Structure 1
Amino acid sequence: MQSDTATKFSHIKPADTEFKSGGLRDFFLYRDLGVADATGGKVIAHLVRANMAPEAGTGWHRHEAEFQIVIMTKGWAKFMYEDKVTLVEAGDVVHQRPGIRHFLFDYSPDMEYLEIVSPADFKTVDVEAVCDTPSPTPWK
């Protein structure tokens, strides 16, 4: 059984934290959900929201992480996972296996997703393109 001091109880309400820039991508906004602090850096959970129209996307990359899950809460996003286009819509859940090469190249103006990753200080590594990537849909 885990010790009571290994993690802390956390309860974050929408008014407790706000969406901010300064995360991994400048075209997204991030809302910290307090999980990294509560778990001593074992896990991070944040909401990610579209902030600007997709132009170049995230580029091809992979994460050095033990676990990563994306739960689309609003809108949609199109990813390349290896050489496959994957449309992720509100309600969809994606488990990104460790090291999978991917590229988020298109998303709706209302896109928002919950991302949970372990460890909290995971690294992102740029990789060579796996294949050609479709163009994003222009926002109106």
Structure 2
Amino acid sequence: MLDKTQTQFSHVKPGDTKFVGGGLRDFFLYRDLGIAQATNGKVIAHLVKANLPPEEGTGWHRHEADFQIVIMMKGWARFMYEDKETLVEAGDVVHQRPGIRHYLFDYSPDMEYLEIVSPADFKSIDVEPAAQIPKPTPWPAQRTED
């Protein structure tokens, strides 16, 4: 039976939390969905959206995490997973196995994805490159806000 003392019910509506900077990457904005608090740090779920054009990308890294999925909600992003380029488009779901070396190097101005990771305080560790990174797609000079 589920131990209800370890987690709490959570219901976050769109207006309850805002997209803010200060997350893992300064070129993205993050919207907390209240899951880390509800699970006492077992899981984090947040929406991530593009804030600035992809200049350097995330760099090669891996996560110290037991579980991670990315669900692309809007737009697209291009990743390198080890030595394989992967285009992730709206509606796609990616399970990143623990420790996989990856690099998010390109994304559309409207990119937004849901990321779910366990544990909530996962670490991002820089690693040696696994392959050469293609150039990102330039953004239009002016971008319109949603």
After TM superposition, the score normalised by the length of structure 2 is 0.95
Counterpart in the other structure of 2:99: 99
SS at match of 2:37: helix
Counterpart in the other structure of 1:137: 137
Q: How does 1:61-72 map to 2 (within 5 A)?
A: 61-72=61-72
Q: How does 1:51-66 map to 2 (within 5 A)?
A: 51-66=51-66
Question: What percent of counterpart residues are identical?
Answer: 78
C-alpha distance in 1 between matches for 2:69 and 2:81: 14
Aligned AA (1:139): W
Counterpart in the other structure of 1:90: 90
Aligned AA (2:96): Q
C-alpha distance in 2 between matches for 1:100 and 1:128: 12
SS at match of 1:137: coil
SS at match of 2:36: helix
Shift of 1:15: 0.2
C-alpha distance in 1 between matches for 2:41 and 2:82: 29
CA RMSD after TM alignment: 0.4
Is 1:45 aligned to 2:49, yes or no? no
After TM superposition, the score normalised by the length of structure 1 is 0.99
Counterpart in the other structure of 1:79: 79
Number of aligned residue pairs: 140
C-alpha distance in 1 between matches for 2:97 and 2:3: 29
Q: How does 1:122-133 map to 2 (within 5 A)?
A: 122-133=122-133
Counterpart in the other structure of 1:9: 9
Shift of 1:63: 0.1
Aligned AA (1:50): A
C-alpha distance in 1 between matches for 2:85 and 2:57: 14
Q: Which runs of 5+ in 2 are unaligned?
A: 141-146
Shift of 1:5: 1.1
SS at match of 1:36: helix
Shift of 1:111: 0.0
C-alpha distance in 2 between matches for 1:116 and 1:4: 21
Aligned AA (2:111): M
* Runs of 4+ deviating beyond 6 Å: none
Counterpart in the other structure of 2:114: 114
C-alpha distance in 1 between matches for 2:82 and 2:76: 19
Counterpart in the other structure of 2:143: none
Counterpart in the other structure of 1:35: 35
